[in-house]
Amino acid sequence: MTPEQQREQWLKRMLPALGILVIYFAIISNFVTEKSSKAEAQYIELKQKGVDAAALPGVEQQQRELSEEMTKLEQENKAIHEAFAANSSFLSRTGSPNEAMVRTEGNDVRFGVEYIDHVGFDPVTHLLDIDLIRIDPVCALKIPANIALRQKVLPFIEMDGIVHVVCQDIENHAVITVLERLLKKPIRLWAGAATQLETKLKQVYGTVQALPAPASAQATQTANAVNTGDELLYAAYMRQASDIHIDPGYNGATIRFRVDGQLEHYNQINTNIFTELVSRLKVMAYLDIAEKRSPQDGRFSHQFVSGDRRVDVRVATLPTKYGERITMRLLAVQTDSLTLEHLGFEPTHKRMIEGFLRRIQGLMIMTGPTGSGKTTTLYAAIRMLLEERKVNIITIEDPIEYEINGIAQCEVDSADKVSFAKALRSILRHDPDVVMIGEIRDKETADVAIKAALTGHMVLGTLHTNSAAATVTRLTDMGVEPYLVAAALRLAVAQRLLRRLCVHCRIPRPLTELEAISINRAELAGHTIHDPSGCIYCGGKGYSGRIGLYEILELREDWARAVAEGEGESSLVVKMRDSGIKSLLNDAVDKLLSGVTSITEVVQIASSW
């Protein structure tokens, strides 16, 4: 490392500390100044009374100490000013994305760190990649479909009070006038490829009329509820939300979407529309609309009027103080992107899973909390099996989250007519090559799954555990004998999901010592990581999509023998680390250093341990 690089690294590390020093010396300076002012006031008061204050014991020494303290503070303050000035000048010369913000106003120093605009997309010269932008349905649905299709315009995001619109001709002033009149906000036009724009317009608006605008005062409540329900489902579909939350309150209800694992506010509706909306959704899900004091579960399939798109929705109601709370889980129908390559597997992990899938028998279990992508990974594995060989695949799920052609999918009945254990026993009489179990919940299901894996079937399943090694402990706690676990289990995969940084606006910076310690990697201090920023591609959020973290335990012969002899989770973890198998945290740190995710996301993984 050159002296210049060493100086740059030192300055970047010292920047937060210098800010704290500024605040500290400002407080001390104010305290000393106040103390000096009080002493001077007392001195004047005594002098007015005819008392020689200088002759009083201790006064002269107190004045001398105050004078020395003020001189010392002035010198230290001057040194800090010079250090900040040098740091700011150096960072501006090196073009660092983190620009020091130092302003001097009289005797005051204003300190801070702000992100400069390092993306710098210019609407005049930048050709927007329409396939990569995330469309905000709140913006897109504000203009009628016929105008959007005729004018070839698509509002996709609102940032800082400006609506960004992609179109073919950014010099068309008539389009700007029409959009400003409809949206009642400033417009910024972006150029996009004609073919991409045409495809995206058909996806958003189709060939029919746009969704109804907010109802007028003369419209009925029922029409309002129908319009709100259709718009709600369509907006969630466009936003790629996994869940819709409708929370009743004192003055109405709040509607939120869960996108990439985070809740986002969508709309606020009044009490009258909320009541009608609840009734409509319960009718669509075949629920009892008269029952308001008991939780209910149902589902329905909604066909959008534009194109052949369809979404399956699972509905759950819960009585609360201000009405029934409704949560809807949107289950994807399209499965083209369900491949192992798209899920973030490292080459080593991908080879291990593909190696297992080329077997004819054995048990593979995905572990992790709810919403960690376990079932999605199993679907990707099933798609690989269908592509590589002809197999009879039967699944047992609660609910069926993806529809895949070529396999038989069985759904567990909420009335317990079809449970996991009952369905699994029946499935084994249908000559399956591969069986997928949505969740191994009890001893009965675990026993049948283990026996199926030992009798020539490939069994894929999920469990709720924190790590891959904990799979053995969980199965034995359910009552499965350790020797059966050792004989059947071949692969245990722990999985988590982290938000992926937007590649267009992520900001590089060095990892601080405190951050390195927080993820138990103190030696990584100073390494380059990236922070989220926000741009037109990610909708100002700094993140775009999610990526998986994986820890894979392949039960080798000697390890299986140790499990059969009664060795538990702790000994398996030691064997895994000694053999170089990465933990979830190690995988997260690797993705942090490669710029895929941020320190905030990694800290969540580290804090769970």
Indicate the helix (H) or strand (E) that contains 262.
strand 262-269
| pLDDT tens sequence across 142-175 | 888 888 888 889 999 888 888 999 998 888 888 8
Write down the residue that tokens 């289990």 correspond to: 489
List for the chain the helix, strand, coil content (%; round to 5).
45, 25, 30
Q: What is the pLDDT of residue 3?
A: 47
The yes-or-no verdict on residue 39 having pLDDT over 60 is: no
Sequence-separated contacts (24+) of 305-309 with Cβ below 8 Å: 305/206, 305/208, 306/202, 306/203, 306/204, 306/205, 306/206, 306/207, 306/208, 307/202, 307/203, 307/206, 309/237, 309/333
CB 195 within 8 A of CB 202: no
Structure confidence at residue 306 as a pLDDT band (50, 70, 90): low
Contacts of 427 (CB under 8 A, 6+ apart): 394, 396, 410, 435
Highest average pLDDT, of 44-48, 124-128, 207-211, 569-573, comes from 569-573
The yes-or-no verdict on residue 17 having pLDDT over 50 is: yes
pLDDT top residue among 302 and 213: 302
| pLDDT tens sequence across 235-244 | 888 888 889 9
Angstrom distance (rounded) from CA 115 to CA 96: 10
Model confidence, pTM: 0.72
Structure confidence at residue 209 as a pLDDT band (50, 70, 90): very low
User: In 349-451, at which residue ranges do the beta strands (DSSP E only) sit?
Assistant: 362-367, 393-397, 408-411, 434-437
Structure confidence at residue 61 as a pLDDT band (50, 70, 90): low
| pLDDT tens sequence across 377-430 | 998 999 899 988 899 999 998 878 778 888 999 988 766 678 888 888 889 899
The yes-or-no verdict on residue 94 having pLDDT over 50 is: no
Contacts of 132 (CB under 8 A, 6+ apart): 504, 537, 544
User: CA-CA-CA-CA torsion for 196, 197, 201, 203, nearest 10 degrees?
Assistant: 20
CB 11 within 8 A of CB 90: yes
